[in-house]
Amino acid sequence: MNFLETIFRNLSHAGPRPVLQEVRDGRILAVTGAQLLSSIQQARIFLNQTGLQKGDRSVLLAPNSIRWTALDLAMMAEGLIVVPLYVRQAPVELVAMMQDASPKLICCGDSILRESLVQHWPNSPPLVCLDEIFGGKGAGPEQAANSVFAPLLPLADTDPMAIIYTSGTSGKSKGVVLTVGNLNHMLRCTTARLDLLMGPQTEPDRVFHYLPCCFAGSWILLLTCLSRNSVLTLSTDLARLAEEMRLAAPNYFLNVPVLLDRLRAGIETQLQQKGASIAWLFDKVKSAWFRRQQAEAGLFDFLWLALGKALIFPPIRRRLGPDLKALICGSAPLAKETQLFFHMLGVPVLQVYGLTETTAICTMDHPQRIEPGYVGPAIDGLEMRLSENGEILVRGPNVFQEYWNKPQATAEALRDGWFHTGDQGEVNASGNWRISGRIKNLIILNSGHNVAPEPIEETLLQELPAAQQVALIGNGRSFLTVIITGNVTYHQVESALEQLNEHLPHYKRIRAFHISSEPFTIENGLLTANGKFKRETIVERFRERIEELYCKAKA
């Protein structure tokens, strides 16, 4: 039985039980297993009427919703290759990815998004809105509900199921082809790990989900929840995230480091505002906790921790969620101090490491054997090793098939059966991995967004003729900054950034800059012999200035 058959069987067995929810305007809207199957059937009828054939590509471009999920499953049930895209991406970038994928159909969240695409791609394939699919044109709800559910198309392990686009160091997105076999293996691994976390249960897992389902890790969690005895609540308004999380009352949910950093900062700020005595006690408790982690705890530290567990931690836990068993975090490096902070509160943070090319996951923390600062052991069936230069290489059934239409890039990434991740790391005696940095230049923000620096640097240089060099900064940070060398003024840079940022998606915008009168040279150690940036050396040389940029920009 493949992953899709497992999901459809699970939805059928769920029957009248809620399996998927949205939060809308402070209210939860739920669908049962039977209702979700009916919506999937409605979408399948629509897709059938378009004349699409097995193996055709179909773009899914919409925010998270029950309809997004139903359409995604319908496309796969019809044997189509789903191309999920991020709605907040710049239209010109979306069009470039769609032109590369050559879809036969583009499904948009609404008419505004559709019109934006038409402006940038007048001769696009048919563009339809979700309302046209689910709103009664050609296949209304009654027709779908009264029809006999069509059987799933037979699928081989090698059949492509999705093309998920990911940034490359050249700045041109590459389409990662994921197959039935990739998904079969990955969902078995994620289900087994969640079984360990939740233990024997009679009630469904309650899961909260706010990350866009078009991203590989987010999509895998969605499909895993639909395969299990779960009820998944989809957030629809990031501005009301805390309220929506309280309504969902989850057992666990997937995070990116930037949210956990914000949660930690918010908790510490609130405790500081509760008065001098509470703030003083919390500082004592936190210091005692971190000394204990370093095996340096004194006699009184056990007293401080006992007071924290009795007086400080319970109300924080109630606000986070009384039934919260764990936080799951991936897509970017998480600060060890942040992970330890939540462990102190009694909420373990399980780290996950992987790439789109590995069907989102290479390693997962074991719930009973967490080592803060590490991202857990390799998943079952995956081999991981280090190359001579410290790059992580992986081989296994979850490794992608190819980059769409890019045989040379595929050959460079997949060599002798091993996928070259571009990440540096190390593994300890327990088999737990630590990610120490990037071999590639790709900047990974702590929101999980990938940014290729070269195209932005080149564009900014064109806007600033007097500048000599531009180096983008931001790996592991919440936003981008830049160091500029040459004879440029503050006003010139400010004006150029204003023009540049206007055409960039939110996560690629540059929020602060530093002008250096001294250029990067081979002599001062900031360029290689062939004139390339020594990016890590640049970051280290300008560390104080960079820290000032981030402090001022946050203020």
Q: Which residues are CB-neighbours of 173 under 8 A, at least 6 positions away?
A: 93, 96, 97, 100, 165, 166, 167
pLDDT computed for residue 136 by the predictor: 46
Helix intervals (H) in 174-275:
180-198, 216-227, 241-248, 257-272
Q: Position 259: which residue type? A: L
Lowest mean pLDDT among 143-152, 217-226, 254-263: 143-152
Per-residue pLDDT of 455-465, as tens digits, reads 899 889 889 98
Q: Which residues fall within 8 angstroms of residue 277, CB to CB, at 6 or more apart?
A: none
Tokens 């990610």 -> residue: 435
Q: Phi and psi dihedrals of 48, rounded to 5?
A: -60, -40
CATH 3.40.50.12780 fits 3-195+207-237, yes or no: yes
CATH fold of the domain at 452-554: GMP Synthetase; Chain A, domain 3 (3.30.300)
User: 3-class DSSP state for residue 181?
Assistant: helix
d(CA 378, CA 358): 12
Across the beta sheet with 349-353, the strand order is 27-32, 18-24, 230-234, 205-209, 252-255, 326-329, 349-353, 363-364
| Cα 512-518-519 angle, rounded to 5 deg | 85
DSSP state of 244: H
User: How do beta strands 57-61 and 81-85 pair?
Assistant: parallel
197 — phi, psi (to 5°)?
-65, -45
| Helix (H) / strand (E) containing 372 | none
**Quick one: average pLDDT of 474-500?**
94
Q: Is 444 helix (H, G, I), strand (E, B) or coil?
A: strand
- Give 433's pLDDT tier (boundaries 50, 70, 90): very high
| Torsions phi, psi for 80 (to 5 deg) | -80, 160
CA 476, 479, 480, 483 torsion-angle sign? negative
Q: What is the mean pLDDT of residues 479-484?
A: 96
Task: Report, as an integer, the average pLDDT of 281-299.
Answer: 89
Instruction: Give the 3-state secondary structure of residue 554.
Output: helix
**386-412: average pLDDT:** 95
Rounded mean pLDDT of the chain? 91
Which one-letter DSSP state was computed for residue 527?
A: B
Q: Report which residue type is found at 450.
A: N
Residues 6 or more apart in contact with residue 313 via CB below 8 angstroms = 344, 345, 346
- Distances 47 to 40, 56, 72, 137, 151 between C-alpha atoms, Å: 10, 11, 11, 12, 15
User: What pLDDT was estimated at residue 441?
Assistant: 80
How far lies 99's CA from each of 11, 120, 159, in Å?
Answer: 35, 11, 22
- For residue 206, the cross-strand partners are 231
Say if CB 20 and CB 221 are below 8 A apart.
no
Helix/strand/coil for 151: coil
DSSP per residue, 452-511: -HHHHHHHHHHH-TTEEEEEEE-TTSSSEEEEEEES--HHHHHHHHHHHHTTS-GGG-EE
Question: Which pLDDT tens digit goes with each residue over 291-301?
Answer: 988 888 888 88
CATH 3.40.50.12780 domain extents, the chain = 3-195+207-237
pLDDT more than 90, % of the chain: 74
Query: Does position 146 have pLDDT exceeding 60, yes or no?
Result: no
The pLDDT value recorded for residue 135 is 85
List where CATH 3.30.300.30 sits in the chain.
Answer: 452-554
Is the pLDDT at 485 greater than 90? The verdict is yes
Question: How many helices (H) and strands (E) are present in the chain, helices listed first?
Answer: 20, 25
pLDDT at residue number 529:
55
| Residue 513 zone, left/alpha/beta (φ > 0; ψ -120 to 50; rest) | beta
Q: Is 268 helix (H, G, I), strand (E, B) or coil?
A: helix
Rg (CA), the chain: 24
Q: Which residue has the higher pLDDT, 237 or 159?
A: 159
pLDDT tens digit sequence for 538-551: 999 999 999 999 98
| pLDDT exceeds 80 at position 148 | no
